[in-house]
Structure 1
Amino acid sequence: MALSSPAHEALMATQLPFLPQLSVVIPTCRRPDLLERCIHALLAQEGIHGELEIVVVDDARTPACKDVVRGYTLPLMSVRLRCIHPPAGACGPAAARNAGWRAAHGAIIAFTDDDTLPDPHWLAEGLRALTPGTGAVWGRVVVPMPEHPTDAERNTGGLHDAEFITANCFVRRDVMRRVGGFDERFKRPWREDSDLYFTLLDAGIRVLPAPAAVVVHPVRDAPPGNSIRQHRNLIFDALLYKKHPRLYRQKISAGPPLHYYLVVLAGLMLLAGLLTDTPGLCVAGALVWLALSARLAVRRLRGVSHHWLNVSDIVASSLIIPFVAVFWRLAGAWRYRVPFA
């Protein structure tokens, strides 16, 4: 894409209407370096005919986002790039994406994240897959992985096989209006895309894969204990289950994690033994807890890096994860008044 001067672009903006076929929505929150990298990849798109709009939604409302956007001199009228904020009081990726597609002008909305690198043919392939009668498509997310990844890297690698995630999907604007967009009760980047997907399916809207529409999602370092912190997202699994119980059981989880509940039961046995000074109960509870935790740790250690820091993190977190997971699942069941376990 050739560059033009800001003055020439402003002059052309007063003379020609801007009628994009496609708008790209990118939510961002305090990651200007990643955002700039993503925008660079979008400006290198090939095979797109007509005008393109890029709407960056700054959930943090910081000057850094506007500084990144202002740093680009765009090609004549073929691309328009702007930064907006969600409405006052709204927060989270679902609210940011809603603000983005509602402010956009394109008949087709492409969603991605600020930490992705869209392939040069991403938009062209997504549009090609969105055939007449198809309301939405999802593309392929490629996660470059080392031969022996860390636990956090492997978790990110799970995006490769995911259906319909907001790092790579295309939805017709009239379809978004029909279903009301994203449910803003999903305050964290977790399950808001599954909820939209299930809502589309429940509404009888045709949703198809578009494997040729590729974005790359590089892995990033995560601090020790990140696997424990990530389990607080499970509170939103309860909301997703409440809204779409059949699809949740079909596509997310066929049933509750019974082994986690057994670990919690063993922990309660150990605690009861300590409180009642019953050594047999203490020993039984401790043995069951350690055995099930060891089983979990062994499963998580398969195929990952055996660096001592990664191994120690997996072993230590395996002792804690079942308790944290059960807590957040039950917290979600209580918050959303749904029999979710």
Structure 2
Amino acid sequence: MISIVVPTLGRDSLGDLLATLAGQVGDRPALEILLVDDRSTGGGELPVPGALTAYTKVLRGHGAGPAAARNLGWRAARFPWVAFLDDDVLPASDWLDRLVADLAVPERVGGVQGVVRVPLPADRRPTDWERTTAGLADGEWITADMAYRRTALTAVGGFDERFPRAYREDAELAHRVRCAGWRLTRGTRTVTHPVRAESRWISLRTQRGNADDALLRRLYGAGWREELGVPAGRRHRHAVITTAGVLAAVALAGGLAARGSRAGRPFAGTAALAGAVWLAGTTRFAYERIAPGPRTRAEVTAMLMTSAVIPPLAVTHWVRGWWGGRHEAPCRAVRCRDGVR
């Protein structure tokens, strides 16, 4: 008795996902598929195969992001288990059978994660974006393939719609589910998550997630990464690089204004020192991104340019998120990594 919820933006990959499921449904009366069409504008009919017509219901989302779309889906679900899939994954040929087996768990298990595989090129080193996507394979409780008991979702109110991106909203939900006393575990079913074709400037767009990190810091305190099982980030390094860059620019401007006078000497020294810190930090950041990659001209150029822009952009988004969440009350539910208050 399973409801499968797939929020979608109408990507071509949705057709492959549904075609794969169509070959697995057989005669399963206790199954439904809820497609949440979250396109902000109309984009035509979704590609539902004929074999899935009897199982599938299409819901109209509000273009408010994956958290809101998933909430719309699970709240319309009829069955005790809700399995979330992203529209850009490809389930294995035995995914549905293994899902059924995965959900044969004790009553206090509130969620079961599937195995996510990210194929990388075999003939070259992966790009920065490919390595970023590959990190999904090691993520905890990611909703690329994650099933929850409907009662667990109801108990915690589902996804927090203050997180509008596909970024941290699943880890934050898992944290609250554990804090409500439920256990989370891993299953054996498998999905493949291909690396989406993206602009080489994608790393700049992803910096918007820093606003969500700032909100999490507001809600869960300084130890939020450990609490939610999120790997350490580069925020503090970005802050140092950004501060050095701003200080160098201000000192340089001051030196130019005082050019020709003794008052300009301190400005020159400050600009040189701060500029050296900025250059060293930016160079190290760029090297860390270039070294494990394919080192093609296009990749190196993109890494050099984006490595100079990312630190101030990340800090700007963090400050925006911190200010935007200034009225949010801190959560009292902490220290729940093991699912116990």
Q: TM-score scaled by structure 2?
A: 0.85
Q: Aligned AA for 1:261?
A: A
Evaluate the alpha carbon distance shift between residue 285 and residue 207 of structure 1 in structure 2; reply closer, same or farther with a 3 A threshold: same
Compared CA separation, residues 30 and 191, structure 1 to 2 (3 A): same
Query: 2:322 is aligned with what amino acid?
Result: A
Correspondence 1:110-125 to 2 at 5 A: 110-125=83-98
In structure 2, stretches of 5+ residues that fail to align are 256-266, 331-341
Among 97, 121, 140, which residue is 2:115 paired with?
140
Query: Tell me, which stretches of 5 or more residues in structure 1 are unaligned?
Result: 1-20
**1:26 alignment counterpart:** 6
**What do residues 261-319 of structure 1 show as CA deviations (whole Å, max 9, x unaligned)?**
21012112211212211222222222111111111111112321111111111111111
Between the aligned partners of 1:142 and 1:67, the Cα distance in structure 2 is 25
Q: Of 66, 84, 95, which aligns to 2:45? A: 66
User: For residue 56 of structure 2, what is the aligned residue in structure 1?
Assistant: 81
Look up the match of 1:4: none
User: In structure 1, how many angstroms separate the alpha carbons of the residues matched to 2:182 and 2:25?
Assistant: 29
The residue number in structure 1 matching 2:339 is none
CA distance in 2, matches of 1:169, 1:155: 20
Partner in structure 1 of residue 75 of structure 2: 102
Indicate the percent of aligned positions where both proteins have the same amino acid.
Answer: 36
Could you tell me which of 284, 287, 299 is aligned with 1:310? 299
Q: Cα distance 1:255–1:81, how it changes in 2: closer, same or farther (>3 A)?
A: closer
Tell me how far 1:137 sits from its aligned partner: 1.0
Following TM superposition, by how much is the alpha carbon of 1:61 offset from its aligned partner in structure 2, in angstroms? Answer: 5.6
| Higher RCO (CA-CA < 8 Å; seq separation 6+) | 2
Counting matched residue pairs gives 312
Aligned to 1:238: 214
The answer to whether the 8 A contact 1:138-1:168 is kept is: yes
Contact 1:47 1:124 in 2 (8 A): no
Q: Which residue number corresponds to residue 7 of structure 1?
A: none
Out of 111, 133, 153, the position equivalent to 1:176 is 153
Q: Output the amino acid matched with 1:274.
A: L
Aligned to 2:271: 282
Q: Give, as a single letter, the amino acid of the residue that structure 2 aligns with 1:132.
A: P
Q: Select which of 201, 204, 218 maps to 1:225.
A: 201
Question: How far 1:68 sits from its partner (Å)?
Answer: 1.8
* Residue deviations 1:83-114 (CA, integer Å, cap 9, x gap): 1113xx66111111111111121211100111
Please show how residues 263-302 of structure 1 align to structure 2 within 5 Å. Answer: 263-277=241-255, 278-302=267-291
Verify the 8 A CA contact 1:137 1:208 in the aligned structure 2: yes
> RMSD in angstroms over aligned alpha carbons?
2.3
Q: After superposition, what is the alpha-carbon deviation per residue over 1:4-62, rounded to whole angstroms, capped at 9, x for unaligned?
A: xxxxxxxxxxxxxxxxx11110001142x221111112222379854321111001165
Equivalent-residue separation in structure 2 for 1:85 and 1:276 (angstroms): 56
Deviation at 1:118, TM superposition (A): 0.8
Distance 2:15 2:98 in 1: 23
Q: Give the Cα–Cα distance (whole angstroms) in 1 for the partners of residues 52 and 195 of structure 2.
A: 31
Q: Check 1:162–1:73 CA distance in 2 against 1; reply closer, same or farther (3 A cut).
A: same
Q: Is the 8 A contact 1:198 1:247 kept in 2?
A: no
Identify if the C-alpha distance between structure 1 residues 48 and 181 changes in structure 2 by more than 3 Å, giving closer, same or farther.
Answer: farther
Separation of aligned partners in 2, 1:281 and 1:273: 6
Write the deviation string for residues 210-256 of structure 1: whole angstroms up to 9, x where unpaired.
2x111100012211221011101111112223333445334225587
- Kept in 2: contact 1:61–1:85 (CA 8 A): no
